Chain A
Amino acid sequence: MHKTRYYLVIGAIGITAALALSACGGSGTGGGSKSTDQTIGTPDGTGKTLTVWAMDSDLSPDTLDAINTEFTKQSGAKVKLEVQPWADITTKVTTALATSTPPDVLDLGNTQIPGYAFNGGLLDLTSYKKELQQGNTWLAGLELPATFEGQLYGVPSFAGNRAVIYNKTVWAAAGVTEAPTTYEALIADLDKIKAANPAKDFSAFYLPGMYWYAGMQWVWDAGGDIATLSNDKWTAGLGSSAAQQGLNDFKTFQNTYSSVASRTLDMDSPEQDKMFASGKTAAILSISSSIDSIQKDNPKLTTADLGTFPFPGKSGKSQPVMLGGSDWGIAAKSQNTELALLWVKIAASPDIQNTYVFAKDGWTPNSVEGIKAAQKTDLPPLTAGFFAAALNSKSTPAAANWAVIEGDLSINQFFSSIASGAKSPADAAEGFDSHIDSVLNGN
């Protein structure tokens, strides 16, 4: 078999470029010595522009502004910020990383990093790790997916997870004044709310059928998982009896408390925040930034009207949540790696993390120290529900090809076909499990 080895040429060009860049980049790497720890320093970026891809509804514009301002102050370079929508993002990022002029810094979902790292699209940041950590211990849920074969390819940006956001006023009108702590109590409360709000398009708990992050909480709570790794082979597990139990419970809950229309919908069309803000539902499972967007959509909903609590599980504990979040990656083909490193260092700094990522946006900060600092402050009541839910968290399989499962929407279709009754949980799992097996074990 004939192997084409263009990569040698590309590698040579890359090394030359890296040497050239570090040579003109201020404090640089200390005469090209082969020390494992390199320093970022303060590169002079006058006249240069750094392109940053941020994801829609991740960090707020205020936070990004603060990072950019500090970056421009230190380096003199400008920042071109491009906010990307989530639709087709894996396709978009992959093609962007493959071009010769990719965005320099990218906001990457923690579940997607292994794929880009495996394929060589991201810059290896291992030698800068110490400086980027800035004395902190990063959250494992953000650092591990960004670590591939022992090398670091992403810098933790923030963590986030899901909790129930509910409309206290609507719940109180139905006679429910306290947040439920058990699954049975939640069911009893939702029955009361459903009885008090008989409108056909009202959902006691709006839970779109394609919303797989939510659906997985039932599977995890019942003891199932998407796939497990043993002897370097992934085995899908949605057909297991535990997972099936969870899927059946998900279907019953979804069909009972969410509108018929929602069975085949995803959470973004229509947006569940807007459904909540417009009074079509009194409870959703969502991320903390939803509180802000709900209040923007409907300013009449004050903080006193809203409440949060971890979704209670049948197991007696709160349902495990998916520890989502983002890391900052730097394109392997970036022309401004030194500036990109500086930008990422500022974004991960304790100052930005505490003052903006946590205090302004309500996200979980990227480090253990950050969480401790946040807990010392009086946690706002609406944030407390999210922090409580985060204590029991899970993640998607750390496989290089996991992004394919998210990208081809098969997991959305899987949950939707169960919610709509198009397939029984057993039939749906049979087809989906074989798809997972072939994708995760393929190359």
Chain B
Amino acid sequence: MSSPIPATSVAGEGVAAADTPGQLHAPRSPQGRKKKDFTPLWLLTPAGLVILAVTIVPIILLIFISFTDYNRRSLFTGEFAVVGLGQYASIFTDVAFWWSLVRTVFFATALVAGSIAIGMAVADLLTRLAPAMRYVVTVVLIFAWAVPNVASSLVWDWLFQPGFGVANWLLTQTHLFGDLTQVNWAQDPVLAYLAIWLLIVWQAVPFIALTLYASQTQVPSEYFEAARLDGASEWGIYWKVAIHFLKPTLLLVTILSVIWDFNVFNQIWLVSQGGPNDATATLGIWTYKTAFVGFHIGEGAAIAVVTTVLLMIFTAYYIRNLVRAGEDL
């Protein structure tokens, strides 16, 4: 019953195609052959060369070194041997690796959860502030963000220094925790994590808050008005309406936070040097000690490769979601 119609339409298409071969192909192909447009390539070349030199070449070198026994002696003599997967084997059989991995996962989770939660709260706060106060909060956020993390880590050292630290003195004045003036935060496993967590979250919040705030201001206000008219609570509006629109941005800042917090090094090294007794020795610290203190550079490179693969696995789900969200738009 339906066979004649498709047959006709196919025939029709065939005829149309046969009638206008030039119209379908002529405008494109001769032009493309004659004058291939290289402008985008030229425009990308400077940035591309920089990325090639400072990112791609070092990564290839890193992967190559991870298959060698490159060490301190190799730095001076250039002499090294290819050892295949030997470095990887020694990493996976090293208890220190598994412990640093556990510490890293635990600490990165705490950092990401803390910075995202506080960042969301600050972003929402910004939408509710009067303009003057909003500028003040924004400037304060940018100041915290602008401090180089080496400088902020040194300031942290002084704030929490036993005997002289302002933080210790203030906490003692509250009479809530007893006398803390003699406490060395950096050398107590729990307090060291707490101090470093505060430091990293403090500097991570501004980026997350400002990005989410920018995203939140793009949500059409009609949705909030409609929800309010329907009698929804402010809490409910945030979770049902705002979060819906923030999702793509949230996913992006979460992925970035996971990557940054997984690799955090400066703050830990400068505050606790991985101590006490390796309690805060995350993968970053372990890599540094292996590659740049013991100068087992081959092994250090292998740890870096393993860390990258782990990060890709941890973030694969989010990246897939992000890509899908992009397709929907």
Contacts and interface: CB of A to CB of B under 8 A. Distances in A.
Contacts of A417: 276-277
Interface in B164-221: 164, 181-184, 186-188
Given A6-B79, A439-B294, A201 B276 contact: no
Interface in B59-110: 71-73, 75-83
A201 B295 contact: no
Contacts of A263: 184
B293 A407 contact: yes
Interface in A259-275: 259-265, 269-270
Interface stretch (B15-23, B155-163, B318-326): B155-163
Interface string A242-285: 00000000000000000111111100011000000000100000
Interface in A206-262: 259-262
A287 B163 CA distance: 24
A264 B189 CA distance: 12
B76 A422 contact: no
Interface residues of A, number: 46
B188 to A, nearest CB: 8
A119 B164 contact: no
Nearest to B77: A7
B78 A7 contact: yes
Nearest to A263: B184
B257 interface: no
B193 to A, nearest CB: 15
A98 B277 contact: no
A71 B182 CA distance: 49
A90 B293 contact: yes
Given A94-B295, A443-B71, A265 B162 contact: yes
Given A2-B82, A261-B184, A264-B184, A201 B163 contact: yes
Interface stretch (A175-183, A185-193, A335-343, A408-416): A408-416
B292 interface: yes
A391 interface: no
Contacts of A260: 162, 182
A310 interface: no
Contacts of A422: 276-277
A103 interface: no
A91 B292 contact: yes
Nearest to B72: A119
Contacts of B292: 91, 95
Given A269-B157, A269-B161, A408-B289, A413 B275 contact: yes
B273 interface: yes
Contacts of A416: 187, 275-276
A36 interface: no
A259 B295 CA distance: 36
A4 B82 CA distance: 8
A3 interface: yes
A121 interface: yes
A422 B161 CA distance: 19
B251 to A, nearest CB: 37
Nearest to B82: A2
Chain B, interface SS category: loop
Contact of A4 (B78, B183, B275): B78
Chain A, interface SS category: helix
Contacts of A115: 72
A173 interface: no
B77 A120 contact: yes
Given A91-B292, A269-B157, A413-B276, A4 B75 contact: no
A296 interface: no
B12 to A, nearest CB: 68
A280 B164 CA distance: 11
Interface in A278-314: 280
Interface string A91-105: 100110110000000
Interface string B266-279: 00000001111110
Contacts of B77: 6-7, 10, 119-120
Interface in A78-131: 90-91, 94-95, 97-98, 115, 118-121
Contacts of B73: 118-120, 443
B275 A98 contact: no
A321 interface: no
Contacts of B289: 408
Given A270-B163, A413-B276, A408 B78 contact: no
Interface string B281-296: 0000000010011110
B293 A404 contact: yes
A53 B179 CA distance: 44
B162 A261 contact: yes
Contacts of A97: 75-76
B181 A201 contact: yes
Nearest to A331: B76
A109 B327 CA distance: 61
A250 B71 CA distance: 37
B277 A413 contact: yes
A265 B83 CA distance: 41
Contacts of B181: 200-201, 261
Q: Which of A261, A270, A332 has the most CB of B within 10 A?
A: A261
A97 B73 CA distance: 11
A206 B216 CA distance: 56
A269 B162 CA distance: 10
A420 interface: yes
A1 B315 CA distance: 38
A408 B293 contact: yes
Given A94-B72, A264-B184, A270 B161 contact: yes
Nearest to B288: A91
Nearest to B154: A269
B300 to A, nearest CB: 12
Interface string A419-439: 010110000000100000001
Q: Which of B78, B278, B289 has the most CB of A within 10 A?
A: B78
15 contacts: A1-B81, A1-B82, A1-B83, A4-B81, A118-B73, A121-B76, A260-B162, A269-B157, A269-B161, A404-B293, A408-B293, A408-B294, A413-B276, A413-B278, A431-B277
Interface of A: 1-7, 9-10, 90-91, 94-95, 97-98, 115, 118-121, 200-201, 259-265, 269-270, 280, 332, 404, 407-409, 413, 416-417, 420, 422-423, 431, 439, 443
Interface of B: 71-73, 75-83, 157, 161-164, 181-184, 186-188, 273-278, 289, 292-295
Given A2-B82, A10-B77, A332-B76, 12 more contacts: A1-B82, A4-B79, A7-B78, A121-B75, A121-B76, A261-B183, A264-B162, A264-B184, A264-B186, A409-B274, A413-B276, A420-B276
By Cβ-Cβ distance, the 4 closest A-B pairs, closest first, are A261-B162, A6-B78, A264-B187, A98-B75
